[in-house]
C-alpha cells in the first residue's frame, strides 16, 4: 500500500478484518516502508498511534527501503498517495508478480496511468476517475451505508457492516460479469445503492446494533422506494427546466 494516511490505514484495517494476513501487507509512507525498527517509531507512537500499530503487525519479512523494494513479487498495489503521473513508474510495476493488480487512486491524476500499468504487465487497473475503467469511488458506498443505518436506527456502524457493504457491491459486479475493465459497478448503476443499503441494515440487525430490526428484503424495498422517489423528483425538475443539467449549464 503506497500511502499510509487515513485512506490506506482504513483499507489495511478492513482487509485485516476480512481475514487477510497483515504480515503479508507492506505500507509505505514518505519515510519509506513501515517496519518495527524504523527510525521514527518512537515519535510515531505518540503522533500517529494507528500507523504505529500497523507498523508492528505488518511486513512480517522485514522489508526495508521504499516502493521499489516493497513491490518485488507483490500481487497487488493499492496507491492512495500523491497525484501523478509518475509517482509509480512502469519499471516499478514490472517488479511485481505475474498479472498484478494496480489500484492508483490519487485524484485528479492517478499515480500511474492505467495504460502504462497495463503495458508493464498489470492484469487489472483501477483509478479514482470516472472517465477511466474501474472507478473506485466512495460514493458507491457511503450514501447507502447511511441509508441502511438510518432506516434501522443503528446504534453504531462497525467494520463488519462496512465489509458487508463491500461484499454486496462485489456481488453486483459479479452478477453483471467481471472483466479486466469491469471489477466494480459504476455510479450510473443506481440499483446498487438500495442493495448496499439492504446489506447494511441486515448486517446491523444481525449484529444486534439496530434499534429496529430490518431484514435484507424489507430494506431493499424501502431504499428502492426512497431512491426512486428522489430520481423521479429530479427528472421532473429537469424536464420542467427548473433545474438545468450540468452539460447545459
Residue 229 confidence (pLDDT): 94
Judge whether residue 132 has pLDDT over 80: yes
In this structure, are 195 and 222 located in the same domain? yes
Looking at residue 182, which CATH number applies to its domain? 3.40.50.720
What's the CA gap between 53 and 176, in Å, rounded?
Answer: 39
Q: How many domains does the chain have?
A: 2
CA atoms lying within 13 Å on the CB side of residue 209: 17
In this structure, are 42 and 146 located in the same domain? no
In a domain, residue 171? The reply is yes
In this structure, are 219 and 185 located in the same domain? yes
In this structure, are 101 and 142 located in the same domain? no
Of 127, 160, 178, the position where a domain reaches its end is: 127
Judge whether residue 108 has pLDDT over 60: yes
Judge whether residue 163 has pLDDT over 70: yes
In this structure, are 145 and 197 located in the same domain? yes
In a domain, residue 248? The reply is no
Which string of DSSP letters, residue by residue, matches the chain?
A: -B--SHHHHHHHHHHHHTT--GGG---EETTEE--TT-TTHHHHHHH-HHHHHHHHHS-TT---SSHHHHHTT-SEEEE-SS--SSSS-HHHHTTSPSS-EEEE--SSS-SS-HHHHHHTT-SEEEES-TTSSSB--GGGTHHHHHHHHHHTTBS---HHHHHHHHHHHHHHHHHH--BTTBSS--TT-TTHHHHHHHHHHHHHHHTT-BSS---HHHHHHHHHHHHHHHHHHHHHHHHTTSS--GGG-
Neighbours of 155 (CB within 10 A): 13
In a domain, residue 249? The reply is no
In this structure, are 39 and 109 located in the same domain? yes
In a domain, residue 80? The reply is yes
In this structure, are 183 and 110 located in the same domain? no
Of 58, 92, 127, the position where a domain reaches its end is: 127
In this structure, are 102 and 160 located in the same domain? no
Of 61, 94, 127, the position where a domain reaches its end is: 127
Which residues are CB-neighbours of 65 under 8 A, at least 6 positions away?
32, 33
Q: Tens digits of per-residue pLDDT, 26-85?
A: 999 999 999 999 999 999 999 999 999 999 999 999 999 999 999 999 999 999 999 999
Mean pLDDT of 115-133: 97
In this structure, are 11 and 121 located in the same domain? yes
In this structure, are 121 and 66 located in the same domain? yes
In a domain, residue 168? The reply is yes
Residue 34 confidence (pLDDT): 97
Angle among Cα 99, 104, 105 to the nearest 5 degrees reads 145
Residue 245 confidence (pLDDT): 77
In this structure, are 152 and 234 located in the same domain? yes
Judge whether residue 183 has pLDDT over 90: yes
In a domain, residue 40? The reply is yes
Overall size of the chain counted in residues: 249
In this structure, are 191 and 113 located in the same domain? no
In terms of residue numbers, what domain contains 182?
A: 138-239
Neighbours of 133 (CB within 10 A): 17
Identify the bridge partners of residue 32 per DSSP, sorted by sequence position: 29
In a domain, residue 246? The reply is no
Residue 175 confidence (pLDDT): 97
Amino acid at each position: 500500500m503506497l500511502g499510509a494516511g487515513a485512506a490506506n490505514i482504513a483499507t489495511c484495517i478492513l482487509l485485516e478484518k476480512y481475514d487477510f494476513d497483515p504480515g503479508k501487507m507492506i505500507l509505505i509512507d514518505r519515510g519509506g516502508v513501515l517496519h518495527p525498527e524504523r527510525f521514527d517509531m518512537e515519535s510515531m507512537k505518540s503522533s500517529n498511534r494507528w500507523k504505529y500499530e500497523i507498523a508492528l503487525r505488518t511486513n512480517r519479512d522485514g522489508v526495508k527501503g521504499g516502493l521499489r523494494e516493497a513491490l518485488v513479487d507483490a500481487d497487488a498495489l493499492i496507491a492512495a498517495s500523491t497525484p501523478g503521473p509518475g509517482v509509480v513508474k512502469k519499471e516499478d510495476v514490472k517488479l511485481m508478480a505475474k498479472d498484478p493488480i494496480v489500484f492508483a487512486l490519487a485524484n485528479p491524476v492517478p499515480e500511474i496511468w492505467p495504460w502504462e500499468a497495463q503495458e508493464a504487465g498489470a492484469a487489472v487497473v483501477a483509478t479514482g476517475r470516472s472517465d477511466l475503467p474501474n472507478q473506485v469511488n466512495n460514493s458507491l458506498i457511503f450514501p447507502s451505508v447511511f441509508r441502511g443505518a438510518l432506516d434501522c436506527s443503528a446504534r453504531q456502524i462497525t467494520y463488519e457492516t462496512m465489509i458487508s457493504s463491500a461484499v454486496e457491491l462485489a456481488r453486483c459486479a459479479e452478477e453483471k460479469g467481471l472483466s479486466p475493465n469491469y471489477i466494480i459497478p459504476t455510479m450510473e448503476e443506481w440499483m446498487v445503492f438500495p442493495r448496499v443499503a439492504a446489506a447494511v441494515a441486515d448486517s446491523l440487525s444481525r449484529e444486534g446494533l439496530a434499534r429496529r430490526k430490518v431484514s435484507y428484503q424489507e430494506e431493499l424495498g424501502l431504499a428502492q422506494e426512497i431512491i426512486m422517489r428522489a430520481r423521479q423528483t429530479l427528472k421532473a425538475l429537469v424536464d420542467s427546466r427548473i433545474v438545468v443539467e450540468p452539460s447545459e449549464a
